[in-house]
Structure 1
């Protein structure tokens, strides 16, 4: 009797990658699956493969460890009462994190579950008679490679697994790199080009292969004093970037912040993204994470606000000001800031006119005034005024974002640090913590141009070619006056440009390591230990695999 395995349950931990814990599956034979079509069975196997992505990209998992570990973001113990979390965000920023960090553990588990779900799909889909199966198998294989690619980048290893009942093989270094590369190459021929950024496509795999080759020198020699970028790797970066650019399928967006709007699923700049549309119950919290607890973006929802989370560091802010001095970057580079609420302070406005500014938010903030849980009204309109930290029981402390932010008492209050509202606050979100519809970019066209520019510099010091690629991106943002063209290019300038274009997009740690800047010094961080380039394997995973001697060794330095 034919059996259909429907992988609808999460696979629980690293141990779901080996025989220590059985896979949890619903097994349906033809009788019990009455009414289930082959299409439903196929869809029911590929959907769980993608379902881990929104959780991987939540504010306290992949985002936190990719951004708060760098010079781009800092999260102090706000007011001495919020975001303390036993010091994990301070430790992450200072590179003193340990193997018991819950955010590292959760990220590890989600990636392990993603791999396990991919393995289940790869074993089940061939038994289903549906025309989509060939494509779904390619997607599952490519997603298994992508989850492993993140494990390689973060933890220095990959899991090779084909049979759900067998132990995974663990690879590191060159072997791990080759495995991920070959899996992407095997998946690519059967992928489609027309299913949108929320699924793995040929373009997505090309972009991920370009990123893999660009970081290959790091993955081969994780703790090297210098990285050796092989010319043949850089040729591959250029090759895959050329494929994407010449396909004509993707376009640089004239309006920079529209790439991160609530309705961005059809934005032509997105190549691969976490699909967060409302019908999928998206929960993009990247807007909520940095805003003040007294910023309420939505007149319809008086419970939807920020949480006074991370700010940008003064160090990162000064890369902007030094680049454009004596001009203000807000009036020079459209990626820095977008003014949306063009109204005088202490005004009455229609609900439709309450649209938050975007980008890097500085100084005194204005917005909807809230008293006893309700917004102050002016007839049918809403009162806009100067904001204070009322929700923090500090009603005389203005919501006035300052450049300085650190781990001192003064540097940790609720208003320290310039904040980031890059992704639009979800328009349907009753709390700021749910229904965030903005798809989260994984690969987009601007990054492709910048990767190609970097490969040109690293292979042959082709500064002219790299400069042309960088200026193509800068010139594309024509919704307002674009940033001025640069006149020269080198690796330091390119690193700065990647910061301007890709801030808050979960790429900073990987970039800093590749450019040799991760052991540097910035606000509240002096640790120069190269072994911190990868994170510790969570202690729970080490403990769980302890019945197989030598199976899972901890990373050096932890």
Structure 2
């Protein structure tokens, strides 16, 4: 049973929210009585906190995102938008459906791209409701509560700061120089300043270092809520990419953050596939933090419903939807050959449906080119279907951070020159990578030597271990492979065989609507 449910109650949080955030990044309840009636009990605070968590996977107050929080172009939820930008633009995923979304696959997006715009405003909606929660959870605001309740509310406040930091990390990674607004800014009529990447990096580092001390240990945290370990995992990811964001390497700091996660007691799950099924909420040994998704409380047409239904073909004729716990497939995703060619035959992570499918994508609209994904499912451990996915979406959680990723971050940081005060970093890096490989192969036959442990190997191993988990675009940029002509994949740059890209594509453009609304904001270079 999933413990922390994302209960969404319209009357509690969203009464009076703006219907669009295009002209006001700092959204807030406009009915003065809302705050007075909502922030009156610990339970009410917890329900509002649940909405902050839920904002990453559902975009409204009703089933499937009905009664929307605000208007966007396509109306997709946060995670569906994030999947599109992090996966379709890379060597992992080709998209089948026609339309503007092909611009992502071909790296032909513009300042008016509707999928880019949706992501931008989903991020800032989450930031805005986190800010509103923080305004109402100051020491002054909770002064009338008991000492015991105050302690709990302070933890809620720290959780809200973490969720805001996660959204800001996505803003930094995707858009670079972005608006900066906190709970300390005035409400209404305020045009946020634009912070550069280094300023956002410094803000996030400061927040996460502080939160690591404030949040409870993972062992003392309800499932679905953040912890010290989740904070350190995000901090490690920030440090690993610091050279991109701030022009300076923080690899020793990355190793230290990874060590704190590892020493929190996490262990690799024996069965890789079980990390991505409908019982994956039971994998607390490896999954550090996840977005809880279930058909009863947080039914979404995005998040893992998108990953699972989108991975199943409705026209292949050989792939059976019930084998993945769904009633029908959406025929959205296919694996590019650039990804599937990285796997050896014994690697159990190669979860692809190959029958009647060519390995390489030769036509984005042809559903029979490119293997189909089998990594995600809506099946429980006993093989039963978790929910009626045709009507109610799926019940598989999305792991945001897990131990295998932390092992690989440690290894990469060590290869990039990071040191470990607790021992030889390169020796530990090899040990961690081989632990992952041993699970993948079922025995030591896939283990590598110290000479084989190179940065190029790490990039490929991250693809094998973490594909379809929304890290690939970030990884390719960090390795200078995203725009480079030295590494190509199908339809990179719009050509079937791929081509190099203009450097502007390392970032997405700030939506033109935002540029028009806020005179403080300048467009990213090249757009």
For residues 212-253 of structure 1, the C-alpha deviation after alignment (integer angstroms, 9 at most, x for no partner) is 0000100124xxxxxxx53xx1111110110111121x2210
Q: CA deviation at 1:51?
A: 1.7
Equivalent of 2:406, from 448, 452, 456?
448
Q: CA RMSD in A?
A: 2.6
Q: Which residue of 1 aligns with 2:41?
A: 38
2:267 maps to which residue? Answer: 251
TM-score under structure 2 normalisation? 0.80
Cα contact 2:205–2:235 (8 A) shared by 1: yes
Q: Which moved more, 1:291-300 or 1:258-267?
A: 291-300
Q: Contact 2:177 / 2:524 at 8 angstroms: preserved in 1? A: no
Q: 1:144 — aligned with what?
A: 164
Is the counterpart of residue 288 in structure 1 residue 309 in structure 2? yes
**Unpaired runs of 5+ in structure 2?**
1-10, 59-75, 380-384, 420-424, 493-498
Report the number of matched residues.
455
Aligned position for 1:340? none
Rounded Cα–Cα distance in structure 1 between residues aligned with 2:507 and 2:245: 10
Given that 1:154 and 1:534 are in contact with CA atoms closer than 8 Å, whether structure 2 keeps it comes out as yes
Contact 1:275–1:282 (CA under 8 A) maintained in structure 2: no
Q: What's 2:209 paired with? A: 185
Q: Take 1:308 and 1:93, find their aligned partners in 2: how far apart are those partners?
A: 16
**Larger Rg over CA atoms:** 1
Alignment of 1:159-558 (within 5 A): 159-162=180-183, 163=185, 165=187, 166-193=190-217, 194-221=220-247, 230=249, 233-248=250-265, 250-267=266-283, 268-283=285-300, 284-285=304-305, 286-294=307-315, 295-298=319-322, 304-320=327-343, 324=344, 329=345, 332-336=346-350, 359-363=351-355, 400-407=356-363, 412-425=365-378, 427-432=385-390, 434-459=392-417, 463-476=426-439, 480-481=442-443, 484-487=446-449, 488-520=452-484, 521-525=488-492, 526-545=499-518, 549=519, 551-558=520-527
On the 8 A contact 1:95/1:527 being kept in 2, the answer is no
Cα distance per residue 1:294-328 (max 9 Å; x no partner): 44533999x821111121111222222xxx3xxxx
Q: What is the CA deviation profile of residues 77-98 of structure 1, one whole-angstrom value per residue up to 9, with x for unaligned ones?
A: xxxxxx112xx33221221111
Mean alpha-carbon deviation: is it higher for 270-279 or for 137-146?
270-279
Secondary structure, in 3 states, of the residue corresponding to 1:272? strand
With over 3 angstroms needed to count, the CA separation of the structure-2 counterparts of 1:535 and 1:243, relative to structure 1, is same
What's 2:91 paired with?
Answer: 71
User: Could you report, residue by residue, the CA deviation over 1:142-161 in whole angstroms, capped at 9, with x for unpaired residues?
Assistant: 11111111000000034232
Q: Conserved in 1, the CA contact under 8 Å of 2:82 and 2:470?
A: yes
Call closer, same or farther: CA 1:167–1:41 in 2, change over 3 Å.
Answer: farther
Q: Report the Cα distance in structure 2 between the residues aligned to 1:29 and 1:67, rounded to whole angstroms.
A: 39
2:338–2:360 CA contact under 8 A, matched in 1 = no
CA gap 1:299/1:474 in 2 versus in 1, 3 angstroms: closer
Q: 1:164 to 1:423 in 2, by over 3 A?
A: farther
- The whole-number CA distance in structure 1 between the counterparts of 2:262 and 2:474 is 23
Instruction: Report the CA distance shift for 1:137/1:22 in structure 2 as closer, same or farther (over 3 A).
Output: closer
* Alpha-carbon distance, 1:106 to partner: 1.2
Whether the aligned pair in 2 keeps the contact of 1:7 and 1:26 (CA below 8 Å) is no
SS of aligned partner of 1:74: strand
- Alignment-derived partner of residue 350 in structure 1: none
More helix by share: 2
Unmatched segments (≥5 aa) in structure 1 = 77-82, 222-228, 337-358, 364-399
Distance apart, 1:57 and its partner CA: 6.9
Structure-2 separation of matches of 1:266 and 1:459: 36
CA shift at 1:425, angstroms?
2.7
1:100 to 82, 103, 112: 112
Q: 1:484 to 1:74 in 2, by over 3 A?
A: same
Cα distance in 2 between the residues matched to 1:535 and 1:265: 33
